[in-house]
Chains A and B, each alone.
Chain A
Amino acid sequence: MEWANQLCENRQFGSKMTDSKYFTTTKKGEIFELKAELNSDKKEKKKEAVKKVIASMTVGKDVSALFPDVVNCMQTDNLELKKLVYLYLMNYAKSQPDMAIMAVNTFVKDCEDANPLIRALAVRTMGCIRVDKITEYLCEPLRKCLKDEDPYVRKTAAVCVAKLHDINAQLVEDQGFLDTLKDLISDSNPMVVANAVAALSEIAESHPNSNLLDLNPQSINKLLTALNECTEWGQIFILDCLANYTPRDDRESQSICERVTPRLSHANSAVVLSAVKVLMKFMEMLPKDLDYYSTLLKKLAPPLVTLLSAEPELQYVALRNINLIVQKRPEILKHEMKVFFVKYNDPIYVKLEKLDIMIRLASQANIAQVLAELKEYATEVDVDFVRKAVRAIGRCAIKVEQSAERCVSTLLDLIQTKVNYVVQEAIVVIKDIFRKYPNKYESVIATLCENLDSLDEPEARAAMIWIVGEYAERIDNADELLESFLEGFHDESTQVQLQLLTAIVKLFLKKPTETQELVQQVLSLATQDSDNPDLRDRGYIYWRLLSTDPVAAKEVVLAEKPLISEETDLIEPTLLEELICHIGTLASVYHKPPSAFVEGSRGVMHKRLPARTGSGESTESPDVGTAAGGSAPEAAPSIIPSQGDLLGDLLNLDMAPPTTSGPPPPTTGMQMGGMDLLGGGLDSLMGDESEPLGGDIGGSPAMGAGFGAAPAVMPASLNAPVGGGLGDLFDLGGVGMPMGAYIPPKIVWLPAMKAKGLEISGTFARRAGVIQMELILTNKAMSVMTDFAIQFNRNSFGLAPAGPLQVLTPLGPNQTIEVSLPLSTVGPVMKMDPLNNLQVAVKNNIDVFYFSCQYPISMLFVEDGKMERQVFLATWKDIPNDNESQFQIKDCHLNSDAASSKLQGSNIFTIAKRTVEGQDMLYMSIKLSNGIWVLAELRVQAGNSNYTISLKCRAPEVSQCVFQCYEAVLKN
C-alpha cells in the first residue's frame, strides 16, 4: 500500500490526474464514503467510485460490503462502467450469493441487447459467476447465444459452455449443450470452431470415456480446414485436439501430416510446437521406408532450431521439448549441434538445458567441437553450470570412445586449475571413465591423489576412495591414504563410509599382509560404533565373508564389474512416449506425466503413441485417450514398489526380499536364525582371526546358544504359529474379563526438522492378534508429499510391514493423515540394542528418512501364552537361577486381581495364585511371537504399593523389556 500513499502525495502536489489516483486511500470511513459516491446521481462520480472499488479489490482489500451499491450501478449504457461492475461481480458473487441474484435481471436483459458486444459480455460474465441460482438463469440466454447470428457472440458462448460445465456438469448434459457445442465444430466462422474445440477438449478431459469429441475423418477434415483460417490461438487449440486423434491407417496419417506441416512456418512458437507434437505422434504410424517419412524428418529440424531464436522463456520451453525429441528421434537434430552452443549472455536456465542436449547429440563426428566448447564453459562463473560442463566432459568420454583420451586430458587440465568444485566434479567423472575403460587411464591416478585434501564433498570423496580401493595394488601408499580418511570416519557421510569400508576390504584382499590392522579397525567402526544399518550390514557381511572364506570374499568383492551404460539420465521409454504426446505443455517442461502435478481427474489420462498399422487393418481402439483412460485412475497411486525393490532401494543393499513361506520353523533357535548367522559367523571369526573382537560381540553367540537349548524343554504343542486363537478360547473364562491391551501414547518419532517437513509420530498396538504400527504423518512443508513407502531394518524379533503403507492420497501442506500398518514377525532378524529398538526408513517423493523407535515388547505377547501349570513348574525349575532377574514396581495401587486382569489384556496370563502371609504371589506366563517363554512371579503385598517381580527366561536379554511392559501396563 506504500505506493498508493505515495501516489496520494503526488496528487496533492498537483501532478497529473490519472487512473492511478484510484489507488489512494483515505483510511477511515473509506467504505462509507465510497458508498455515498456509488449512490451519487452524477454518472461520472459513480464511475469514479467504481474504479476506486476495483483498485481496492486489486490490492486485496475486502470491499464486499459495497456489493448492493456496486450492483446498482450495473444498469447503465456506459460500457466501460458496466465492465467494471461485472469485474466486481465476478470477484464477490460467490461470497454474496443471495445478493448476486439482484444482477440476474440485468444479465438476462443484456443477453437480448441489440449490440453483439454487450450480448457477448453478458454471457461471458454470467459464466464466471459461480452461484448456483445464477447458473439456472444462465441456461436460456446461453442457449440463444449459442445460436446467435453474430459469430462474436457464438464464440463467447462456446467457451461459456465449458465454464458452466466446470460449475455444474450435470446441468450442461441435461440441457443438451454438449450437442449444440458439437454442432459448432461445423460453424462457418473459424474462431467459433476453435473455441468450440477448446471447450469440448476440456470437457472431454473430465469424461475420459465419453468420446465427446468424436474424432473421425470427416470432423478431422473440418478441423484441418479451420486450421488454415483461424487466429494463432485457435490453431493451437485445434492442433492440440488433433494430437488426440489416432488415424485409421498410415495413409490417413500421412495426409494429416501433409496438412499440418505448413504450420511449422508460423511465427507463433506454440503453434510450431503443437504442430511438432502432431507430427511426432503421427509419424509413428508411417513406414520408415516411405519417402515421405524421411522428408518429414528433414522438415522438422529447421523449425526446432528457429525456436531457439525466440525469447529466453520460450527457448527454455523449446529446449525442454527438444530434449525429449532428441531422445525419441536422435536423427532429426544430429547435424545441428552448433545451435546448442551456449552463448555468454544466455540465462542460466537456457544454458543448463543446452548443455544437456549437447551431450545427447555428441558423436564421433562432432566431438572435437563439443569438447572445445565444454572446456570453455568450465571456466565460466555460474557454479552449477561449470559443474555440469565438467560432468559433461566425462559423459562424452564414456559415450564416444575415440574421444576418451582427449576428455581425460581435458579433465586433467581442469584439475590443474585447482578450483575446488571443478576438481571435485572432475574426480567424480573420472571414476566413471575408469569403470568404462578399465586399465587404460590409470596413469592419472597420481595426479588425482595430489588433490585428496581439497575434496570436501561426499560424492567426490567417495569417488576418490573408490579409485584408491580399486587400484590399491598400483598405489604404493594406498593404506596410508585410506587410513587418513579413517580418522574422521564418524563425521563422514554414509556414502563415504560405505565406500571407505569397501575400499579397505579391497585393499586387504589385495595386500593382506600389511593391512590387517586397518581392516579390523574399519570393520569394528562399521559394525559397532555406527548407527547406520546399511553400514553395519555391509560390515557384517564383509566380516563374515573374510572370516569364513577369503577366496569367496575375493570373488565377491573384487568381482568383475558390469560395464556402465553410455547414456545416462535417459527418460524411461514409456514415460518418454507419454511426454511426446504432451509436447509443448507443462508436462514436457517438467518431464513428468500430468498426473504428477495436476490435481483431480484432469490429466490423469495417460496418453501414448499410436502403434504402426498398415493401410488394410484398422485400429480397434478409436481414441488414444480412452484406451488407457479407463484403468488409469486406479493405477496412478500404486507407485509404491514391491517390498523387495523397496528394500534394495531404501537400504541400498542387494538383499533378497524376506521370503518366509510356510510355517515358521519350530524351534526358537531357528526362529532367531538371523542372529544365529551372525553369532556363528562371529564365533568362527573370533576363533581364527582376532581376539579383541570376541569380547565386544560376545553377547550374540551366547544368546544364540541359549536359544539353541530351549526347544528341548518346550512342549511341542506350544510351538504353534503366532496368533492361533485356540489358547485364547480356552482361557476366556479363567481370570475375569480381559481388558484391552495396553497401547502407549503416541510420541513423535521423526520431527519435521529432520525430515524436510515430514513429521511422524506413532505408537504400536496389538489388536485382535495383529500387531499394528499406528502412524500419524503430518506434512509441515510447503509442497505436497506423495509416494510414501516404509521399510524396517532387521530387528530382534523380525518385525516387518505386512503390507505397503496405505497413503493413497497425496499429503498436502499442513495435512495430517493417520495410518495403521499391520506388521508381521517373519522378517529378517538381527539383535538390536536395546532389544526393542526398531530402525525405520520412510520414503516419500522428496527423500528417504530414517528414524528409530522402541516398541513395547508387550505387543509381541501372543494370545496362546498360557502355560500348563505342570509345564510352568517344570520350566521354572529347569531355567537356571542365573537367568532370573528381579525388579521393583513402585507406586502401584492395584490389588492382585485387578492387576491380573489388567495384565491379561496384554496377553500376560496368570496361571496360579498363592497367598502367603498376606502377600499375593501371582505366577504368570508370557509367550513371545518368536516362541520365547517368559515366566514371572509377581508379589503383591496388601497395603504396600511396591510390587516385586521376578522374571525367568532362557533368553534373559528380554527380561528388562518385559519388566518395562509390566510397569507400563500396570500404571496405565
Chain B
Amino acid sequence: MIGGLFIYNHKGEVLISRVYRDDIGRNAVDAFRVNVIHARQQVRSPVTNIARTSFFHVKRSNIWLAAVTKQNVNAAMVFEFLYKMCDVMTAYFGKISEENIKNNFVLIYELLDEILDFGYPQNSETGALKTFITQTGIKSQSKEEQSQITSQVTGQIGWRREGIKYRRNELFLDVLESVNLLMSPQGQVLSAHVSGRVVMKSYLSGMPECKFGMNDKIVIDKQGKGGEGATGQSIAIDDCTFHQCVRLSKFDAERSISFIPPDGECELMRYRTTKDIILPFRVIPLVREVGRTKLEVKVVIKSNFKPSLLAQKIEVRIPTPLNTSGVQVICMKGKAKYKASENAIVWKIKRMAGMKESQISAEIELLPTNDKKKWARPPISMNFEVPFAPSGLKVRYLKVFEPKLNYSDHDVIKWVRYIGRSGIYETRC
C-alpha cells in the first residue's frame, strides 16, 4: 500500500510530508527531488523506481504530489487516489498552489490522516468529510450528530447525509460533451469520438430516489419491441461509467440508471460514443510551399449544424514553422493574428451560425535555414462551443421519488442544458 505521501513546490522543497509505513524513510523525500523534480531530462514516466522504491507522481500547476511505496501496490488506485486528493483539497481551499497549501497545512495533515489509513484509501467524499473535518477546529457535536457522521462516513450512502431540506426542490442537468476528431488532409476521418459527461446539480430534500433516462439505443430498442414505438433517434453508447451512487448491478441487468444523488454537484455519468457523431466543423487546409522561403496557407472552415444554432468561441490554430520571419493574414470573418511565441496563427471568431463557411489565407515568409530536418507540420487544431450534443444524446427524463417527504416528481423544477465543446479537434495538413 501507499507508504508515504509528499507534496513539493516547483523547486522541490517539501510542503507536506506524511509517512504511513515504516519502510519509507526521510531519504525517500530527497530521492524523488533529486531524481525526478531536478532531473535534467523531461519526465519519461509517471512511475519512477529509485532503489526499489516506487514513486507515483502527478503535477498540478507548479505543485508535485508524490505517493511512495515499496510494495506491489495497485497502481491505478494510487493515481485515482492522488486525483481524489487534489479534488478534496480543491473543494476545501480552492486552487492547489504553494500558497494555499502552506496556508492550510494543518488541514491537509488532518485530511491525510482521515482519507489514508496505513496507506489504504478511506472514504474521500468531500460531502462526508466536510461534516467532521472543519476548518473552524472545535465543533462539539451531540451524540446523535456523532453517530450520524460515522454512519455516513462508513455507510452505504456515504455521499449523502440525512435530513437535508430545501424550500424549493430544484435540479440542473448539464450534458457536457467534448468531441474529438483527427482528420486527414484529404478530409478523411481518421478517428472521431465524443466523450461526454452528465453533470447533475441537485438541491433536493431528504433521500430522493432518482431515475435517469436517455435515448440509449439499447433501451429504446427494448421498449420498441414492447410496442410503444421508439420516437426520435437513439444513439449507440460505446461505454459508460457512473458515479458511485448509481446502482451498477441494476444498470447491468436492466440498463436503468437509478441512484440517490449526493447533495450539490456530482458527475453522474461519463460516456463515449463513436457512431453517427455530428462533427460541428470541418477544416479544409491547403498548404503550398513556394520555394524554400515561403509558404502559402489557405484554411476553410465549414459549420455543419442547424442554421438556427450559433457556435461560439471559435478558435483555429494554424501552426507555422519555427523559422517563420513574417506572416500576412487575410480573413473574411473574425480576427487572426500571428503569435510568434506560440509558432501559430490564431484565428478567432466570436460566433458563427450553422451551415456557413469562412476562410483565411496567409503568406508565411521563412528564414532560410540549413536545418536538415523537415518541419513536422503539426495538425491544425480547433476550439469551439456549440449548444447541442454532438453525440446526439437526449435526456428523456429524470424522475425523482421521495416517499417520506411530501413532494412529488412534478414539484421538482428541472433544467437541462447541452454544451458541446471541442476536445482534441485536429486536421492534419
A interface with B by C-beta (< 8 Å): 1-3, 7, 18-20, 22-23, 51, 54-55, 58-60, 77-80, 83-84, 86-87, 91, 114-117, 120, 124, 127-128, 130, 150-153, 155-156, 159-160, 162-163, 166, 189-192, 195, 198, 202, 228-233, 236-237, 240, 259, 261-263, 265-270, 272-274, 302-303, 305-306, 309, 311-314, 316-318, 338-339, 341, 343-345, 348-349, 369, 372-373, 376, 379-381, 417-420, 582, 584-590, 594, 597-599, 602-603, 782-784, 812-813
Chain B contacts for A585, CB-based, 8 A: 72-75
Chain A contacts for B284, CB-based, 8 A: none
Bound together, the chains give a CA A83 to CA B121 distance in angstroms of 19
Bound together, the chains give a CA A270 to CA B82 distance in angstroms of 12
Bound together, the chains give a CA A380 to CA B375 distance in angstroms of 9
* Distance between B155 CB and nearest chain A CB, rounded to angstroms: 7
Number of A-B contacts (CB under 8 A): 306
Bound together, the chains give a CA A156 to CA B77 distance in angstroms of 20
In contact, A584 and B76 (Cβ under 8 angstroms): yes
Bound together, the chains give a CA A84 to CA B108 distance in angstroms of 11
B407 at the A interface (CB under 8 A): no
6 residue pairs, one from A and one from B, having the closest CB atoms: A302-B239, A152-B150, A20-B102, A270-B76, A262-B252, A270-B77
In contact, A60 and B109 (Cβ under 8 angstroms): no
Chain A contacts for B167, CB-based, 8 A: none
Contact flags (1/0) for B60-85 with A, using CB distance below 8 Å? Answer: 00000000011111111101111100
Beyond A19-B104, A151-B150, A316-B45, is A268–B244 a contact (Cβ under 8 Å)?
Answer: yes
Pick from B13, B132, B238: contact of A59, CB under 8 Å: B13
Q: Give me 15 other A-B pairs in contact (C-beta within 8 A), A191-B122, A266-B248, A598-B72 excluded.
A: A1-B13, A19-B106, A58-B105, A78-B138, A117-B150, A151-B151, A166-B21, A191-B155, A237-B120, A262-B252, A306-B240, A309-B195, A309-B272, A311-B79, A343-B424
B292 at the A interface (CB under 8 A): no
In chain B, what residue has the closest Cβ to A783? B51
**Interface-facing stretch out of B217-225, B226-234, B376-384:** B376-384
In contact, B154 and A117 (Cβ under 8 angstroms): no
Bound together, the chains give a CA A317 to CA B155 distance in angstroms of 30
Contact flags (1/0) for B22-54 with A, using CB distance below 8 Å? Answer: 110010010000000000001111110111101
Bound together, the chains give a CA A96 to CA B73 distance in angstroms of 31
**Interface-facing stretch out of B139-147, B357-365, B396-404:** B139-147
In chain A, what residue has the closest Cβ to B270? A267
Pick from B45, B107, B122, B242: contact of A265, CB under 8 Å: B242
Pick from A55, A190, A314, A369: contact of B80, CB under 8 Å: A314
Bound together, the chains give a CA A586 to CA B26 distance in angstroms of 22
Pick from A84, A130, A266, A305: contact of B109, CB under 8 Å: A84
Pick from B146, B379, B424: contact of A117, CB under 8 Å: B146
Bound together, the chains give a CA A23 to CA B98 distance in angstroms of 12
Beyond A58-B17, A116-B146, is A80–B102 a contact (Cβ under 8 Å)?
Answer: no
**Interface-facing stretch out of B110-118, B205-213, B297-305:** B110-118
Chain B contacts for A130, CB-based, 8 A: 22
Bound together, the chains give a CA A127 to CA B20 distance in angstroms of 11
B interface with A by C-beta (< 8 Å): 1, 9, 11, 13-17, 19-23, 26, 29, 42-47, 49-52, 54, 56-58, 69-77, 79-83, 98-99, 102-107, 109-110, 113, 117-118, 120-125, 132, 137-139, 141, 143, 146-147, 149-151, 153-156, 158, 182, 184, 190-191, 193, 195, 238-244, 247-249, 251-252, 267, 269-270, 272, 372-374, 376-379, 381, 424, 426, 428
Show 11 A/B contacts (Cβ-Cβ < 8 Å), sorted by A: A20-B102, A58-B14, A124-B113, A124-B117, A190-B156, A228-B247, A302-B239, A311-B83, A314-B79, A339-B193, A343-B426
Bound together, the chains give a CA A159 to CA B69 distance in angstroms of 18
In chain A, what residue has the closest Cβ to B81? A233
Beyond A231-B123, A380-B376, is A155–B154 a contact (Cβ under 8 Å)?
Answer: yes
Pick from A151, A233, A420, A587: contact of B121, CB under 8 Å: A233
In chain B, what residue has the closest Cβ to A316? B46
* Distance between A334 CB and nearest chain B CB, rounded to angstroms: 16
In contact, A87 and B109 (Cβ under 8 angstroms): yes
Chain A contacts for B118, CB-based, 8 A: 127-128, 159-160, 162-163
In contact, B123 and A191 (Cβ under 8 angstroms): yes
In contact, B154 and A602 (Cβ under 8 angstroms): no
Bound together, the chains give a CA A162 to CA B119 distance in angstroms of 11
* Distance between A517 CB and nearest chain B CB, rounded to angstroms: 37
In contact, A78 and B137 (Cβ under 8 angstroms): yes
Pick from B124, B251, B270, B377: contact of A262, CB under 8 Å: B251
Beyond A265-B242, A349-B45, A602-B71, is A23–B102 a contact (Cβ under 8 Å)?
Answer: yes
In contact, B102 and A115 (Cβ under 8 angstroms): no
In chain A, what residue has the closest Cβ to B13? A3
Question: Among A127, A159, A373, A587, which residue has the most Cβ atoms of chain B within 10 A?
Answer: A159
Chain B contacts for A153, CB-based, 8 A: 150
Bound together, the chains give a CA A273 to CA B78 distance in angstroms of 12
* Distance between A9 CB and nearest chain B CB, rounded to angstroms: 14
Chain A contacts for B193, CB-based, 8 A: 339
Question: Among B29, B139, B242, B249, which residue has the most Cβ atoms of chain A within 10 A?
Answer: B249
Beyond A83-B110, A150-B147, A309-B272, is A598–B14 a contact (Cβ under 8 Å)?
Answer: no
In contact, A192 and B374 (Cβ under 8 angstroms): no
Chain B contacts for A240, CB-based, 8 A: 74
Bound together, the chains give a CA A827 to CA B17 distance in angstroms of 57
Chain B contacts for A417, CB-based, 8 A: 373-374
Chain A contacts for B43, CB-based, 8 A: 349
Bound together, the chains give a CA A829 to CA B137 distance in angstroms of 81
* Distance between B319 CB and nearest chain A CB, rounded to angstroms: 10
Beyond A232-B244, A237-B120, A318-B76, is A344–B379 a contact (Cβ under 8 Å)?
Answer: yes
In contact, B98 and A345 (Cβ under 8 angstroms): no
In contact, B373 and A419 (Cβ under 8 angstroms): yes
Beyond A116-B150, A586-B72, A589-B47, is A313–B248 a contact (Cβ under 8 Å)?
Answer: no
Bound together, the chains give a CA A91 to CA B104 distance in angstroms of 20
Pick from B16, B75, B138, B426: contact of A317, CB under 8 Å: B75
In contact, A20 and B99 (Cβ under 8 angstroms): yes
In chain A, what residue has the closest Cβ to B374? A417
Bound together, the chains give a CA A190 to CA B74 distance in angstroms of 20
In contact, A305 and B105 (Cβ under 8 angstroms): no
In contact, B106 and A784 (Cβ under 8 angstroms): no
In contact, A349 and B46 (Cβ under 8 angstroms): yes
Pick from A228, A379, A380: contact of B248, CB under 8 Å: A228
In chain A, what residue has the closest Cβ to B159? A231
In contact, B378 and A344 (Cβ under 8 angstroms): yes
In contact, A598 and B70 (Cβ under 8 angstroms): yes
Pick from B137, B249, B270: contact of A228, CB under 8 Å: B249
Bound together, the chains give a CA A195 to CA B195 distance in angstroms of 34
In contact, A376 and B239 (Cβ under 8 angstroms): no
Chain B contacts for A262, CB-based, 8 A: 248-249, 251-252
In chain A, what residue has the closest Cβ to B157? A229
In contact, A152 and B153 (Cβ under 8 angstroms): yes
In contact, A348 and B191 (Cβ under 8 angstroms): no
Chain A contacts for B54, CB-based, 8 A: 586, 597
* Distance between A116 CB and nearest chain B CB, rounded to angstroms: 5
In chain B, what residue has the closest Cβ to A18? B103
In chain B, what residue has the closest Cβ to A274? B74
In contact, A344 and B44 (Cβ under 8 angstroms): no
Chain A contacts for B184, CB-based, 8 A: 372
Bound together, the chains give a CA A782 to CA B248 distance in angstroms of 47
Chain A contacts for B58, CB-based, 8 A: 311, 313
* Distance between B388 CB and nearest chain A CB, rounded to angstroms: 21
In chain B, what residue has the closest Cβ to A19? B103
Bound together, the chains give a CA A341 to CA B192 distance in angstroms of 11
* Distance between B352 CB and nearest chain A CB, rounded to angstroms: 24
Chain B contacts for A311, CB-based, 8 A: 58, 79, 83
Chain A contacts for B1, CB-based, 8 A: 198, 202
In chain B, what residue has the closest Cβ to A166? B22
In chain B, what residue has the closest Cβ to A224? B249
In contact, B98 and A3 (Cβ under 8 angstroms): yes
Question: Among B107, B190, B248, B424, which residue has the most Cβ atoms of chain A within 10 A?
Answer: B248
